[in-house]
């Protein structure tokens, strides 16, 4: 990222029919690498939701493919049972970070927007 750019973006996508809220973020101090984060919470209680079969078979299946897909948004990502974390490629601009987050949001909407029932176990 350009040395004069700083980024602080937090997005919450709400899917009441699917029963989840998806929280995405991008953060960087001027001149630092931009980090990416994604976590899921229960739409009713706000409690964190794990990417496990017990919590949600749909989320557990989705997280693996989505983490790999993020490469298209210039994010090198990994996941654990609580979140997806990653780093945007070196040299990306603030505008490219916003574009990447837009694509990341679009992919989330495509997956969780059509649900008519909760994905939580």
* Residue-by-residue pLDDT tens, the chain, 121 positions: 444 478 999 999 999 999 999 999 999 987 788 999 999 999 999 999 999 999 999 999 999 999 999 999 999 999 999 999 999 999 899 899 999 999 999 999 999 999 999 999 8
Domain parsing of the chain, residue ranges: 7-112
| Measured CA distances, 14 to 33, 38, 92, 101 (Å) | 28, 13, 28, 16
Look at the block and give the residue holding tokens 């649900």: 115
Q: For residue 2, how many C-alpha atoms fall within 13 Å in the half-sphere facing its CB? A: 7
pTM tops 0.85, yes or no: yes
């Amino acid at each position: 990222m350009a040395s004069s750019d700083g980024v602080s973006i937090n997005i919450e996508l709400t899917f009441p029919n699917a029963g989840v809220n998806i929280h995405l973020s991008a953060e960087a101090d001027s001149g630092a690498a931009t980090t990416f984060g994604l976590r899921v919470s229960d739409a009713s209680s706000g409690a964190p939701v794990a990417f496990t079969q017990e919590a949600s078979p749909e989320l557990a299946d989705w997280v693996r493919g989505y983490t790999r897909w993020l490469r298209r948004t210039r994010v090198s990502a990994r996941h654990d049972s609580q979140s997806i974390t990653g780093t945007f490629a070196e040299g990306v601009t603030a505008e490219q970070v916003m574009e990447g987050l837009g694509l990341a949001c679009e992919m989330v909407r495509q997956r969780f927007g059509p649900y008519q029932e909760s994905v939580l176990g």
